[in-house]
């Protein structure tokens, strides 16, 4: 009885029953490609894991060049289960970006960006860039040798963009070189700026998905499709996935703990064979193999501009392929998408093998 009274009290003020009614109405289409529907939620779950483990790490981490490395060392040696929280944070970051890519590609191939879902797509692309920035800024925070040089190289590449490159480099680095100032700046991005942006974008993204409902693949548009209730069916299935994800993270943390390495030394030479994290590797490899000069322009500049162009195309996807009627355009898009996927996967593997 008391529970009923509390529920009624809350409902009067928060309209919980309205929300509950809306939630119970939400349905998820069931078809051959339904499996891909899970990846958005998985990405969101892993993001939540990042937020929780990130806040926990904040209790002990110190963002200055003299203290950062030692504080992470402290976390993984002295703090109870510190090793677990830190390794989960590092692994979950990677898993999140992986599921994010899968989510994006599945949305692409299943054309979930057709009207009225263009803004959902745009917010998603923004989220992709936010996630990559999260990865890049977070990677520097332990202030170890690998991270230091990865940041140096990465910001160097950013500086290659014509006109805005140099000011951008100085903005990112907090100066001309990678120093403690860079660390402080990256820390600010990582724990304040990017989370704020992510929260806003995720809110927009998820609300829009609820507003528009789940999309169906083009072939099934207009056709009767079996549906499953979101609550509790799909949600419970989601839950299975999330529980398994926790298991995977725990296993990775215990069996393949994330390395700490050696403290960064600004004056030491770069260690041999440094590579950026895997989600940057395909770009890194591409830049490596672009010839030094193409028609008098620096190869690096061409590479960066090419990537910038592709990023812009990514934004424009729902405005280029607008309707399910145009079968030829769909085919071209499919081919481009497959090529892009193969290129990314291929270059990543190539980067690891060499």
Partner 1 sequence: MRPMKIGGPADQTDRCTLATAAAQFSLCGLCGSLCLCGGIAQENIHHRGTEIAQRSTERFSERTRRFVKQPAAIVPALATRRTFTFALRAMIVLTLFTLASAQKKSSCIECHSKLQDARLSAPAKLFDNDIHHARGLSCNDCHGGDPTADTKEGAKDPRKGFLGKPKTLDIPAYCGKCHSDANLMKRFNPSLRVDQEREYYTSVHGQKLKSGETRAATCISCHSVHGIRAVKDPLSSVYPSNVAETCSKCHANADYMRGFPIPNNQYALYKTSVHAKALYEKQDLSAPTCNDCHGNHGATPPGIASVANVCGTCHGRQAELFQVSPHKAAFDQRQFGECIKCHSNHAINKPTDEMIGAGQKSVCITCHTPGDKGYVAGDQMRTRIDELLASIARSTDILNSAERAGMEVSRPKFEMKEAMDALTHARVLIHTSSIAEVDKVAAPGLAASARGYQAGLDALAERSFRRKGLAVSLVFILFLAVLVYLKVRQIESRQAAAE
Partner 2 sequence: MGNTAGDKTNRDPEYPDPQPNTRRRFLDYLLGTSALATFGAIVYPIFRFMSPPQVIESTESSVIAAKLSEIPINSGKIFKFGNKPGILVRTATGEFKAFSAVCTHLECIVQYRPDTKQIWCACHNGQYNLSGKNIGGPPPRPLEEFKVNTRGDDVVVTKA
Is 254 a binding residue for partner 1 by CB under 8 A? The answer is yes
Nearest Cα residue to 285 out of 273, 275, 298, 294: 275
Residue 218, classed as helix, strand or coil, is helix
Among 26, 31, 62, 322, binds partner 2 (CB under 8 A): 62
29, 188, 213, 257: which one contacts partner 1 (CB under 8 A)? 257
Which of 17, 259, 297, 335 forms a contact with partner 1 (CB under 8 A)?
Answer: 259
**Which of these ranges, 54-62, 109-117, 308-316, 337-345, lies near partner 2 under the rule CB under 8 A?**
54-62
Q: Give the range of 98-106, 133-141, 153-161, 252-260 binding partner 1 by CB under 8 A.
A: 252-260
116 prior amide bond cis, ω within 30: yes
Residue of 53, 43, 133 lying closest to 87 (CA atoms): 53
**What is the nearest approach in angstroms of partner 1 to the Cβ of residue 186?**
24
Q: Which of partner 1, partner 2, none has residue 97 at its interface (CB below 5 to 8 Å by kind)?
A: none
Selected from 237, 275, 322, 329, the binder of partner 1 by CB under 8 A is: 237
Contact between 80 and partner 2 by CB under 8 A: the answer reads yes
CA–CA gap between residue 19 and residue 6 (Å, rounded): 16
Residues in the chain: 354
Q: How far is CA 50 from CA 175, 181, 191, 255, in A?
A: 29, 24, 11, 20
Burial-class residue 273 by CB neighbours within 10 Å (0-12, 13-18, 19+).
Answer: exposed
Query: Does residue number 73 form part of the binding site for partner 2 (CB under 8 A)?
Result: yes
Displacement of CA 52 from its chain's centroid (Å): 16
Contact positions vs partner 1 (CB under 8 A)? 73, 76-77, 83-84, 229, 232-233, 236-237, 239-240, 243-244, 246-247, 250-251, 254-257, 259-260
Contact positions vs partner 2 (CB under 8 A)? 52, 56, 59-60, 62, 66-67, 69-71, 73-74, 78-82, 84-85, 243, 246
């Amino acid at each position: 009885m008391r529970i009923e009274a509390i529920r009624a009290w809350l409902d009067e003020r928060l309209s919980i029953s309205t929300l509950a009614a809306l939630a119970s109405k939400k349905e998820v289409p069931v078809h051959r490609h339904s499996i891909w529907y899970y990846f958005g939620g998985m990405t969101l779950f892993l993001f939540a894991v990042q937020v929780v483990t990130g806040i926990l790490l904040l209790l002990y981490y110190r963002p200055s060049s003299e203290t950062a490395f030692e504080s992470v060392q402290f976390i993984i040696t002295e703090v109870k289960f510190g090793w677990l929280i830190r390794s989960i944070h590092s692994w979950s970051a990677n898993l999140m970006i992986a599921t994010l890519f899968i989510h994006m590609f599945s949305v692409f191939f299943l054309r979930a960006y057709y009207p009225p879902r263009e803004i959902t797509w745009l917010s998603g692309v923004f989220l992709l860039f936010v996630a990559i920035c999260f990865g890049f800024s977070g990677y520097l925070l332990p202030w170890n040798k690998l991270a230091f040089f990865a940041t140096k190289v990465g910001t160097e590449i950013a500086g290659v963009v014509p006109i805005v490159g140099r000011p951008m480099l100085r903005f990112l680095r907090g100066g001309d070189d990678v120093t403690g100032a860079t660390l402080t700046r990256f820390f600010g991005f990582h724990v304040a700026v990017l989370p704020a942006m992510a929260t806003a974008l995720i809110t927009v993204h998820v609300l829009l998905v609820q507003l528009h409902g789940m999309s169906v693949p083009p072939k099934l548009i207009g056709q009767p499709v079996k549906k499953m209730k979101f609550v509790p069916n799909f949600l419970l299935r989601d839950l299975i996935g999330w529980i398994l994800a926790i298991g995977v993270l725990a296993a990775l943390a215990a069996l393949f703990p994330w390395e700490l390495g050696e403290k960064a030394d600004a004056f030491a030479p770069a260690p041999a064979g440094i590579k950026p994290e895997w989600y940057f590797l395909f770009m890194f490899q591409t830049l490596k193999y672009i010839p030094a000069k193409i028609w008098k322009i620096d190869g690096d500049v061409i590479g960066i501009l090419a990537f910038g162009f592709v990023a812009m195309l990514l934004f424009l996807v729902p405005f280029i392929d607008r309707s399910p009627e145009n079968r030829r355009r769909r085919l071209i898009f499919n081919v481009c998408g497959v090529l892009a996927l193969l290129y990314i996967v291929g270059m990543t593997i190539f980067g690891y093998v060499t």
